[in-house]
Amino acid sequence: MGEFELIGRLFQPLADATRTPGTLLGPGDDCAIQRVPAGQDLVFSVDTLVEGVHFPFQYDAALLGWRALAVAVSDLAAMGAEPVCYTLALTLPEIQEAWVSGLVSGLQEASLAFGIGLAGGDTTRGPLTITVQVHGTVPTGQALRRNGAQPGDLIAVTGPLGGAAAALKWLDSPGDDTNRPFLECYHRPVPQLVLGQKLRGIASAGIDISDGLAADLGHILNASGVAGVVQTDSIPRQYGTVESSLAQALYGGDDYQLCVTVPAQQWNELPETLTRQLYRIGHICEGKGLQLERSDGTRESLAPGTGYDHFRTRG
Amino acid sequence: MGEFELIGRLFQPLADATRTPGTLLGPGDDCAIQRVPAGQDLVFSVDTLVEGVHFPFQYDAALLGWRALAVAVSDLAAMGAEPVCYTLALTLPEIQEAWVSGLVSGLQEASLAFGIGLAGGDTTRGPLTITVQVHGTVPTGQALRRNGAQPGDLIAVTGPLGGAAAALKWLDSPGDDTNRPFLECYHRPVPQLVLGQKLRGIASAGIDISDGLAADLGHILNASGVAGVVQTDSIPRQYGTVESSLAQALYGGDDYQLCVTVPAQQWNELPETLTRQLYRIGHICEGKGLQLERSDGTRESLAPGTGYDHFRTRG
């Protein structure tokens, strides 16, 4: 089966089933065509997942489809954007129709869940790699950026952390069943789209936690030119049969919750729908870097850049 | 050196040097932000180049940078679009600063030549792969698509063909110097942006020739539901020390000229700036498939799908 036949036969139904109104032309021409409504700006982000680096060898194709799209859409959530469409650049060692169908089913499930349509792509031969670029819209000037945190702002996260790191530990040494209940956190991340959109006009800065809380909060601090203090006891941890460890919650990647800063005044006026879903974990102050405050009041400074680095292997 | 440091230090100057006015936020946040002017639609296309498949092993990094961007921008040319910005998803086996700098210099040269700015990206560890997604704009409803060819239209190409195929032959067996002068065609493809834009409102269909004239014209015929006849003697061939062969001009990929169809009435009224640069090679008729007409009047039907297939190796 040739490349074009494969694309047409397996991906076109996915594009048809997930198309959103602004996409005037989907896959099959030299370019896709997208209309961006007046008063909206386009936002976009690209993410590559490499076999053996970002997902295990022999990983289930449907899980990979969900995961690849969810991880990319999480960047739209972090900007407070509404998803619109995505492209898929897929590199495959060989064409196995059953595998591609599995990938398409995972992508389709995620596309429909997040309201985002397949608008174009490229299929090439080579080592297994999947690159997804997601496109969304935000009302002009309202995107949540990393550089708006101010001294006095509170730091919050949108959900429990460390579950994906606990799952990876289990995947690395599956003999021990303790971490098995965390697997869903790793296999089926859910981008915080609704919360991200609700936080527009409220949060002063936002990021999604892909590389670990310490690393990603560090990006907000660096971009904003401020320091942060986090109370380690207040970090919500994922509960499986046991809780994820503090180290997993702080340094583990792949959780895809949001970390935001909110001015103290705004925090006091938050609607209940938001307070129920935001975990306050610390505050912003003047200076540089991130400090961890333990329950006994002692503080520890974290070196910048602590966290997951794509140029180190997992394990 | 860690991933984030590399990206910041080597790619940020490229983004700064090439930024275009509509890009409100470039690399460094969760998403880039792009404003699309009223009356314009966004068009975009993604292309992946894999080492050993789409470019030779040990290929020069600066040439790869030019080539990766030029190949992707060619899809904007084929739509008649104006380039705006691009993203770069780069997978590298290891970080070699000199190599990355070479890549950046090739990208920068092409970015400035084509008027397109680096707006975002992702860097990952793995087998060498480069994925470029280009974004452009076209006035609403004026994009050149593949599906508009009508019986009676003339078929034209924007320049000589077969040069890249001749170059690949030389790269495969460099002992024979005959094809060496063609190398520039392969190493430094130039997307036909200006011609593509001038052909808006004139051409009834358009495509860029990336997989060979026969294959790409075939895409226009299929999408438009028509047949085509091409006079083999009228196909312009690239001249090195010898001419590229007819087979190279018909089936060789990587030329990145445009193939367009133009209604006969429009052809007679073309401004001289266009007639000088368009080579008329055949015409559209009712039916299905592509026929080659030789100088003695004999015709040969081409099987559909003839041409370069990314799931076959080169050579």
What SS3 class is residue A96? coil
Last residue of a domain, one of A83, A110, A139: A139
What SS3 class is residue A315? coil
The per-residue pLDDT for range B94-143, each reduced to its tens digit, is 888 899 999 999 999 999 999 999 999 999 999 999 999 999 999 999 99
What SS3 class is residue A260? strand
Range of the domain at B178: 154-302
Residue A59: predicted pLDDT:
93
Asked if A118 and A174 sit in the same domain, the reply is: no
Among all residues of chain A, which has the CA nearest to that of B35? A41
pTM of the model: 0.92
Residue B310: predicted pLDDT:
46
Residues A33, B87: C-beta atoms closer than 8 Å: no
Asked if A281 and A202 sit in the same domain, the reply is: yes
CA-based end-to-end distance of chain B: 37
Asked if B205 and B269 sit in the same domain, the reply is: yes
Q: Is residue B160 part of a domain?
A: yes
Q: What ipTM does this complex have?
A: 0.91
Asked if B188 and B242 sit in the same domain, the reply is: yes
B74 Cα distance to chain centroid:
3
Residues 242-261 of A with CB under 8 A from B: none
Among all residues of chain A, which has the CA nearest to that of B93? A311
Asked if A112 and A243 sit in the same domain, the reply is: no
- From the list A3, A121, A125, the residue facing B50 with the nearest CB is A125
Q: Is residue B33 part of a domain?
A: yes
Residue A311: predicted pLDDT:
45
What CATH number should be reported for the domain holding residue A105?
A: 3.30.1330.10
Asked if B135 and B179 sit in the same domain, the reply is: no
Residues A125, B53: C-beta atoms closer than 8 Å: yes
Long-range own/partner contacts, residues A175-184 (CB < 8 A, 24 or more apart): A178/A240, A178/A241, A178/A242, A179/A240, A180/A240, A180/A241, A181/A240, A181/A241, A182/A238, A182/A240, A182/A244
Residues A30, B123: C-beta atoms closer than 8 Å: no
Q: Is residue B149 part of a domain?
A: no
Residues A75, B31: C-beta atoms closer than 8 Å: yes
Asked if A164 and A135 sit in the same domain, the reply is: no
- From the list B52, B120, B208, the residue facing A44 with the nearest CB is B120
**Alpha-carbon distances, residue A163 vs A252, B111, B245 (angstroms):** 8, 42, 60
Contacts of residue B148, Cβ cutoff 8 Å, sequence gap at least 6: B203, B204, B205, B224, B261
The per-residue pLDDT for range B30-60, each reduced to its tens digit, is 999 999 999 999 999 999 999 999 998 999 9
Backbone angles phi and psi of B88, in degrees to 5: -130, 115
What is the rounded CA–CA span in Å between residue B207 and residue A34? 19
Tokens (6 digits) for A284: 């912003």
Residue B24 touches partner A, C-beta closer than 8 Å: yes
Last residue of a domain, one of B139, B169, B198: B139
- From the list A76, A223, A310, the residue facing B125 with the nearest CB is A310
How distant is the Cα of B47 from the closest Cα of chain A, in angstroms?
6
What is the rounded CA–CA span in Å between residue A107 and residue A109? 6
- Residue B306 pLDDT more than 70? no
B42 Cα distance to chain centroid:
18
B85 neighbourhood in chain A, CB within 8 Å: none
Contacts of residue A105, Cβ cutoff 8 Å, sequence gap at least 6: A62, A65
Residue A272: predicted pLDDT:
87
Average pLDDT rounded to a whole number, residues B61-70: 97
Q: Is residue A10 part of a domain?
A: yes
A207 neighbourhood in chain B, CB within 8 Å: 30
Closest C-alpha to A170, from A158, A186, A154: A186
B206 neighbourhood in chain A, CB within 8 Å: 30
Asked if A169 and A298 sit in the same domain, the reply is: yes
What CATH number should be reported for the domain holding residue A245?
A: 3.90.650.10
Residues B50, A126: C-beta atoms closer than 8 Å: yes
Residues B126, A28: C-beta atoms closer than 8 Å: no
Residue B152: predicted pLDDT:
98
Buried b (16+ CB within 10 A) or exposed e, B159-171: bbbbbbbbbbbbb
CA atoms within 13 A on the CB side of A198: 16
The DSSP bridge pattern shows strands B23-25 and A82-92 to be unpaired
% of chain A at pLDDT higher than 90: 74
Asked if B167 and B229 sit in the same domain, the reply is: yes
Q: Is residue B311 part of a domain?
A: no
Residue A315: predicted pLDDT:
27
Residues 40-79 of A with CB under 8 A from B: 41-54, 75-76, 78-79
Backbone angles phi and psi of B259, in degrees to 5: -115, 125
Q: Is residue A20 part of a domain?
A: yes
Residues A143, B45: C-beta atoms closer than 8 Å: no
Closest C-alpha to B81, from B204, B197, B220: B197
What total of structural domains would you count in chain B?
Answer: 2
The per-residue pLDDT for range B164-223, each reduced to its tens digit, is 888 888 887 777 777 777 888 888 999 999 999 999 999 999 999 999 999 999 999 999
- Mean pLDDT rounded to a whole number for chain B: 90
The DSSP bridge pattern shows strands B82-92 and B117-125 to be parallel
Asked if A163 and A131 sit in the same domain, the reply is: no
Q: Is residue A310 part of a domain?
A: no
SS3 per-residue string spanning chain B? CCHHHHHHHHHHHHHHHHCCCCEEECECECCEEECCCCCEEEEEEEEEEEECCCECCCCCHHHHHHHHHHHHHHHHHHHCCEEEEEEEEEEECCCCHHHHHHHHHHHHHHHHHHCCEEEEEEEEECCCEEEEEEEEEEECCCCCCCCCCCCCCEEEECCCECHHHHHHHHHHCCCCHHHHHHHHHHHCCCCCHHHHHHCCCCCCEEEECCCCHHHHHHHHHHHHCCEEEEEHHHCCECECCCECCHHHHHHCCCCCCEEEEECHHHHHCCCHHHHCCCEEEEEEECCCEEEEECCCCCEEEECCCCCCCCCCCCC
Residue B3: predicted pLDDT:
57
Interface test with B, best of A30, A125, A137 (most B CBs within 10 A): A30
- Residue B315 pLDDT more than 50? no
Residues 73-92 of B with CB under 8 A from A: 75-76, 78-79, 81, 87-89, 91
Backbone angles phi and psi of A300, in degrees to 5: -130, 130
Last residue of a domain, one of A110, A139, A168: A139
Q: Is residue B41 part of a domain?
A: yes
- Which has the minimum average pLDDT: B70-74, B154-158, B292-296? B292-296
How distant is the Cα of A241 from the closest Cα of chain B, in angstroms?
33
Asked if B91 and B196 sit in the same domain, the reply is: no
pLDDT less than 70: residues of chain A: 1-8, 241, 303-315
Asked if B220 and B298 sit in the same domain, the reply is: yes
How distant is the Cα of B68 from the closest Cα of chain A, in angstroms?
14
- From the list B33, B91, B133, the residue facing A43 with the nearest CB is B33
What is the rounded CA–CA span in Å between residue B289 and residue B129? 35
For residues B263 and B153, the answer to whether their CB atoms sit within 8 Å is yes
Average pLDDT rounded to a whole number, residues B277-289: 96
